[in-house]
Structures are given as C-alpha cells and as structure tokens.
Chains A and B, each alone.
Chain A
Amino acid sequence: MRRVKGIAGRKKRYVAVTAEFSEDGQLQPRAITWDDGRRFEIDEVRACRRAASLKTGGDGLRYTVRIGRNVTHLFFEDPRWFVEEKVRE
C-alpha cells in the first residue's frame, strides 16, 4: 500500500450522515457529523458506485464527495455509513 507522510494507516469509522432521498429514489449524502459534534457539509457528490474499501475492509455504495477542497470517499454500507479515517503517525 502507498505510504503517505504523516499517516500511519486508515481505519473504518462509522459516522452520522444527513442524507436526502430525491423524487426518483436516489440517495444523496448532504453532511457528515463527526463524533465530537463537528459537521462537514458535502459540497459536491462527484461519483457513486459499488466498491470495496481495500484500505479498511467493508464495502457498499461508494460516494466520492468533495468537502471544501478535499475529495474523499463515503461508503453507504446499508444501513450504516462509514469513512476511511486517517490514523496519524
């Protein structure tokens, strides 16, 4: 696995998500709430497809989302959501 400076690895972290069902039944995440209460609004959903998280284990619908300048993955494992949390060195 590719090593990133300052990051020891990734771990699976379940998060609270505010999501919206559109008229045609599409599920769109709108915001992620971290366990310390911080809320991150999702600015853009760039892609959505089924995928496995090879870094942390688990799989589901993978949303590629942009939060500010950062692009990250948010997984819908049905019924839970998780992210690949960075573990600092």
Chain B
Amino acid sequence: MEPCIPAYAPVASLPGAREGDRAIAHVDMNAFYASVEQHLHPELRGVAMAVAGDPKNRHGIILAKSREAKACGVSTGEAIWEARQKCPDLVVVPPNYPLYLRYSKLSRKLYYRYTSQVEPFGLDECWLDLTGSLAFLGDDPETIARDISERVKDELGLTVSVGLSWNKVFAKLGSDVDEGDGVRVVTRENYRAWVWPRPAGDLLYVGPATKRKLATMGILTIGALARAKDELIRERFGVVGGWLQSFARGEDASPVKELRPGTWDVEREVKGVGNGLTAPHDLVGEREVKALVYLLSESVAQRLREGHWRARTVSVGVRDKNLKGYSRQVALPLPTCLTSRVAGAAWALLRASEPLDELHPIRALHVRATNLVDAREPFQDDLFGANERERALERLEAAQDALRARFGNQCVRRLSELSDEQMAPLDIKRDNIIHPVGYFGG
C-alpha cells in the first residue's frame, strides 16, 4: 500500500531552508523563578532581587536573579553573602517550587496550542517542533515565535526568549544568547556568521571540563570545533566528540519528543530515580548519616512504586565538607521497589566506603536507583529465597503509601528518620524537583 502522505506542505520555512528541514523553536523563560516572583509581587519589579535557598539549611545560594541584580554582577550559584557584597540592597526571597511548577505547566499548556511536539528541558525551557503546524497556523516560523512570546507575556505575565532554527542545538543557542524577550533566528544562511564565532562553551554539552580540554587543542570557538578534523576530535573525546562536532555543524537531527501527558511530567523515559540533599548541618557518626540515608531512600522507593518500577542497581553519592565527592554503586540480587531494600543497600555501600567518624563529616548525600524494570512485568524470583517475605513487605509499603497519599508523607515514619531534629521535618518526596533530563536520554 502507498504510504499516506499529508496533502499539505509547509507554507513557509526558515530562510535558506533545504527540503525536509524542520522549524524548531526553543522557548526559554527569562530568569524564571525571579520573573514569577516579580510577576506576582509588583513591588519587586525594577528592584535588584534574587530567589535564594534558606541559609539556615545551608541552601543559601542564588537560584535566580532579576535583570537589575544581574547588572550589579550577581550570578546564579553564588552564596547570598557573596551576592550581597556586590549588591548591598539585594532583596532575597525564598523559593516557592509548587508555584514555579504551576507556571511551568501553564506555559507548556500554551505551547500545545501551536504543536503537539513539545519537549521540556527542565522547568523553564521547551523545544517546539513547528514544522507540521506551519500549514494550519498559516504563518512563517518567526511570526509564530513572536506570537508565542507575546502570548506568554499576555497570559502569564512572564517574558521568554525564543531561538528558532532547523535543529534543536542551534535553536537552544539562539534562546540562550538572546536575554531579552526577543526571537533569534539561526538559519543555514547566517549560522556561520553568528554561531561559529561564539565560544565553544556556549554549545550544548560543552561544560567546563570539555571546554578546557578543547582549549588545550586550540579550539576556542564553535566554528573551530566544526572545522576540526573528525579523527582528532574522536581520538580525544570518543563518541561524544562526534556528537559535539555534529552539533557544531548544525547536523543534529534528534527529534523533538512528543510529550504524553499521561506519563511523567518532565521526564518521559525514566532511567533512574534519585534524591539528594545538602544536610542542614554536617553529618557526624552513624546515626545522623543513617537518618538521611533512610529519608532519601524513602522518597526514592516511594517514587519507584508510584512509577511502577523496580530497580536493579542502587548508588550513593557523598560530598564532604570540602565539597569533594564520589559515588559508589551496587547491583541488587533481585529488582526491588522496597524502601528497606534500597536503604539497606545504600547504607551498606556507605559503611563500606566511609569511616563515618568525627574526622569525616558528610555535607551532602545522594541516593539513586537505576537500571529500572517495569514492576508489572514478571521477573525471575529467588528460587530458594524468602519470596513470601518480600511480597509481604511490598504489601506493607503499599499500605503506607496509601496512608501517605491521604494524610501526607509525614504520617508514617521510621524511627531512624526521626533521630535528627533538624532533618526530621523534611519532606524530601514532596519537595522533589525533577531537573533537566539528559539530551541523549530517552
């Protein structure tokens, strides 16, 4: 049978587009947390302000800052006291994650009016593939991008910058560089002049380490990376080098994944479930560390059960007071979604690799469950093991989950989680924030 080809063709695409080129927009909400706060509190508009974590819990770093604060030199990720040195009048407000999630969802709902292909990248960024929508929207991509920008401003009171290109990487670059509420179009005609002179670090997935490594090879710009010999880059960076070069050349053909609202909100194909926390005080001794391991594992396992997964691998990450860290992982004998098993494995890993004494206080911990399998699929049970006991524990934890769904996560707790006064009130699962997925993930 002949394949069914739609009767319409895109009415207009980007200037200089080749046949089959897509029109991809990357929409980035400017200073998202700070903008939401300024939108809801008009008295904060036009003021140097920042959203920052609670210094009492040692989360006192700048998460987002207003344009005015940025002009004073305040940067994201620095401590509040550092920011105050640069900008003594800085107004600092605490973060309100449920609110940011709400605006993130509202913005995505708005994008769905333009296309069904909306791929979120964190809370405040999305790729939109407009190619299939051009015919019925009846406009050129740039006009549509401006329309999106105006609608977000009109309906949500927030500003966005939009990058438009034929591939996802250049679209993101366009929105990253344009800090206002404008639209930056990167076409096949202008990318050599606009993208290539930019520093290599601007490219997606070129972090500080890769940037340093590239610099040692004399590659300082995206253009230099694009023009470098393939073999040279491959030799130094392996497969990733090939990807980075294809990004720099505008050859990235990865699709904008369609979001199925029925599944997880941000992450579609979940590779792992993890929770981490910088403790309110340095953790000294077994009891304090164990409390945090169980708090984190409780959230991880509960999220596993909600997603109907079992994990085969558990890993822990440790960071000491000098911010030095490492991680260790262990394969489990049987896939599990039980808190006791996840926490048991994490605790065993920690005891094996950390002295847990007063000379080695721990600042932050991370527990992660990976290598997931669908909990509804059959798996090879332990032939001689205590299967009945596992099933009984699963039923027990399912009953706890049902109670938590009705009365909050704090209603059933383990004694070990309550041993630290400052950490006991934390509700890690409720406050869990899903960060951007890996570009290659899923």
Contact = CB atoms under 8 A, between A and B. Distances in A.
Interface of A: 49-59
Contacts of A55: 42
B154 interface: yes
Name the residue in B41, B42, B157 with the highest tally of chain A Cβ atoms < 10 Å from its Cβ: B42
A57 B39 contact: yes
Contacts of A52: 39, 153-158
Given A52-B155, A57-B42, A59-B156, 4 more contacts: A52-B153, A57-B40, A58-B40, A59-B157
Interface residues of B, number: 10
Interface of B: 39-42, 153-158
Nearest to A58: B40
27 contacts: A49-B155, A50-B155, A51-B154, A51-B155, A52-B39, A52-B153, A52-B154, A52-B155, A52-B156, A52-B157, A52-B158, A53-B157, A54-B157, A55-B42, A56-B42, A57-B39, A57-B40, A57-B41, A57-B42, A57-B157, A58-B39, A58-B40, A58-B157, A59-B39, A59-B155, A59-B156, A59-B157
A53 B157 CA distance: 7
Contacts of B153: 52
A51 B153 CA distance: 9
Task: State the main secondary structure of chain B at its contact with A.
Answer: helix
Nearest to B155: A50
Interface pairs A-B: 7 shortest CB-CB: A52-B157, A50-B155, A57-B42, A57-B40, A59-B157, A52-B156, A51-B155
A53 B154 CA distance: 8
A65 B156 CA distance: 20
Contacts of A56: 42
A53 B156 CA distance: 8
B47 to A, nearest CB: 13
A59 B156 CA distance: 6
A19 B153 CA distance: 28
Contacts of B155: 49-52, 59
B276 to A, nearest CB: 33
Contacts of B39: 52, 57-59
Contacts of A54: 157
Which of A49, A57, A58 has its CB near the most chain B CB atoms (within 10 A)?
Answer: A57
Contacts of A53: 157
Contacts of A50: 155
Contacts of B156: 52, 59
A78 to B, nearest CB: 10
Nearest to A9: B42
Nearest to A52: B157
Q: Which of A53, A58, A59 has the most CB of B within 10 A?
A: A59
Contacts of A58: 39-40, 157
A9 to B, nearest CB: 9
B245 to A, nearest CB: 43
A50 B157 CA distance: 11
Nearest to B41: A57
A38 to B, nearest CB: 26
Contacts of B158: 52
A69 to B, nearest CB: 27
A64 to B, nearest CB: 14
A53 B153 CA distance: 10
B72 to A, nearest CB: 23
A50 B110 CA distance: 10
A52 B154 CA distance: 6
B105 to A, nearest CB: 13
Q: Which among A49, A51, A52 has the greatest number of chain B C-beta atoms within 10 A?
A: A52
Nearest to A11: B42
Contacts of B41: 57
Nearest to A50: B155
B385 to A, nearest CB: 51
A53 B7 CA distance: 42
A54 B19 CA distance: 43
Contacts of A57: 39-42, 157
